[in-house]
Structure 1
Amino acid sequence: MVSRDSLGGSDVRVAIIGYGLAGSVFHAPLVEATPGMQVTAIVTGNKERQQSAHKRYPNAKILGSVDELWQNASSYDLAVVATSNNMHVPLGVDALHAGLPVVVDKPMAATVSDARKLLEASQQTGQLLTVFQNRRWDNDFLTVRKILEANLLGPITRFESRFERYRPAPRQGAWRESPDPQAAGGQLYDLGSHLIDQALYLFGTPERVYAEMFQRRPRAQVDDDSFVALQFPGGVTAHLWMSQVARISGQRMRVSGLNGTFEKWGLDPQEDALRAGKLPGDPAWGQEPRELWGHLSTNVSEGGVHFDGPIETVPGAYENYYAGVRDAITKGAPLPVDPNSALEVIRVIEAAQTSAREQRSVTFS
C-alpha cells in the first residue's frame, strides 16, 4: 500500500492506460474530479486521441506506449487499465509487477483462470487491485439498496433488471463485436457484467444459473440479446436482460417482496452527463426530475399507514468509486470493489455460457 507519507501529502498520481470510451468518458474525468487525485499520464498510441487527451489534460504526460510508463513507474501511484477487454489481464499484471496499484475496467477478464492471474499478481506483489464496477453507484441501484435496507418490501421474491438498447447493425471491426473468446465481446460481458454484479452484491452467491444467448442482428458474431436467471438461497430469483435490439426498453428495475414492490424506469443520468463534459460537483449532478422517480407500493410503514406512490431517487454517485480508491491507497481503507467479487461475476458469466450452449440450468457451487 502507498501511504500518505510516501506521497508527501501530494495528490495520488494516476496513469490512464487507454483513451477510448472508457478512458476518456469515465476514468480520466472521474479521477480528475476526485479531490486528492490527478491525471498525471495518459497512454494511447492513437494520434487523434493523443491530441484530444493533451487538449483536455494539458498538464498530463501523453505516452505512446506502456513501455514508457513502465520505465518510469515510480513517477505514478496508480495505473488504470481502460483498454479493450483482451488487454485487461496482461496490462494489469504488468502494472502490478511494476509496483503500481491497479484499477481494471470491467469485465475483469474473459475467463476465471485469467481473472485469477490478476489476483495472484496482486497477492505476489502486495499491490492493491480493484475493478471498475461503477454501476454500483447508479441512482436506481442506490435507491433499491436504500429500500432493501429499510425492509420496505419484506422478504424478497424477485429482482428484475434490464439494460436494453437499440443498435440494429453491428459495428464492423469493433472489438466488442469480435467472436475471439479473449476479446470478451457481446452483451453478456458488456452490460451483463453490470447486471450480474448488482445482483450478486444484493443477494450473494447464486445456487443455479440459467441463460439464453442469441445473435439477432444480421452479421452479428456475438450475443446481442441475452437473458440470465439466477436462483439464490432463500428463494430469491434474479431475472436479467441485456439487449441491443430493443427499440422500447422495459423497466430498468423491478423488485418484488411479500410486502411490497418497487419499479423504476429510465437510465441513470451520469453516463450522459459525462459524455456531455459534465463532472461530479456540477449543479444537480446525479439527480433526476420527479417525473422519473420510481414507484413504491408497500404495506410496511411507520404507524401502519400503507404507502403507494413515487419515491425520490437517491442521486447517482460515480465519484464515490475513485474516492474509495484514493482512500484505499492513502489510508488503507477497504477497496470500493473487492476483486474477488469481480471474479465471481466472471464465474457466473462462464456458467451462463455453459447454460446457453447446453440449454440447461447449471448448478453453481
Structure 2
Amino acid sequence: MFFRTSRPWQARESQVTPKGLFLNRRKIIASGGALALSGLAACEAETASQPSGGAASGSRPTSGALDYRGTAYDVADTQTPYPAVTGYNNFYEFGVGKDDPARYADAMTTDPWSIEVEGHAGRTGRFALEDVVDFSNLEERIYRLRCVEAWSMVIPWIGVPLAQVLAAFEPTSDARYVQFETKLDHDEMRGTRFRVLDWPYVEGLRMDEAMNELAFLAVGLYGEVLPNQNGAPVRLVVPWKYGYKSIKSIVKIRFVSEQPETSWNRSAPREYGFYSNVNPNRAHPRWSQASERVIGGNVFARRDTEMFNGYAEQVAHMYAGMDLIENH
C-alpha cells in the first residue's frame, strides 16, 4: 500500500537512506559472514489448501536477499546497524542473555514451516507458510521498535500487512481477538528446557488492533530473510506496542471471542498488561518509561519516549475513552 499524504512518522525524502548505500551495506554484511538460515530438513506437515481471497504466491526463499517494494512507512530516526539488530535480542526460547539467540537460534528448523489456524474463521487448518504469505508481493516498512526494558531500535522490516493475511482466513463476527503462538521444541530451543515462562510463548491482539494499517507480518529485515534470532521465518511487528507483543516464529493463529492469555501478562500481570501500548506516562514498577536508550548509538544516547511510540495518529482512536494507566 502506498501513501501520498505525509504522516508524522514518515521521513522527509532527504532523510531516507539512499538505495545504493543500503545495497552496498548489504554486500558488506554478506561478505562479513552475516547469519543465514540453516534450512535444516523437517518432517513434512500435512497442509490445508491455501486461504482464498488473499491467495499467497511466489516461492519462499530460505536465505539471502528478498524481492520487495519500498513504501512510505518510514521514520526520521537513523536505522539501527545490522550487527546490533541481529546480535542484541530477546528470544527467551534460546536463553535470557541478549547474545544467546544469535549463538543458539541456528539450531531451529525453519524449512518447511506451517501455521495452524483455529477458531472463529471460515477457513481453518494447517497452511504452509508460502500459502499464507505472498512472497511475490513483499514490502519494506521501517519502524521504531521500543522494548519494555527502555531501549529502542529502528529496523527496516520486509513482509506483508497482517490484515491482508487474517482477512484471507475469513474471521467471523465472533472473532473479537486473535492469539498467536510461537514454535516450541525443547531439542532445538534450549531455553525452553527451563521454566522462565509457561511455554509455549503466546501473544494476542484485539481484532481492530490486528487489522490496523500498521500491524505487520515480517519475513525479513535489511532486505534479507529473517535470521533465526529475529524470529524466523515469520514474526509479528506491532510498532506502537512494547516489543514483547511482536511475537516471533509463529506456528499458530487462533481467532477467539474472549481476551486471550498472553505469556508475560500471565507471568507478571502487574508489570505486563494485555495491551502493552508504549506509554511514557506509565512507569514500569521497576523503572521509568519516560525515555529510552538508543541501541547502536553512543552509550549515553537517549531519546524521550513518545506516546504509542510515535504512532498516535494511526492508533490512538482505538483506545478513545480508555484509562491507559489502568488498561496497560
Q: Same fold (TM over 0.5)?
A: no
How would you bin the TM-score normalised by the shorter chain? Answer: under 0.3
Query: What's the TM-score once normalised by structure 2's chain length?
Result: 0.23
TM-score by length of 1: 0.21
Q: Which protein is richer in helix relative to its size?
A: 1
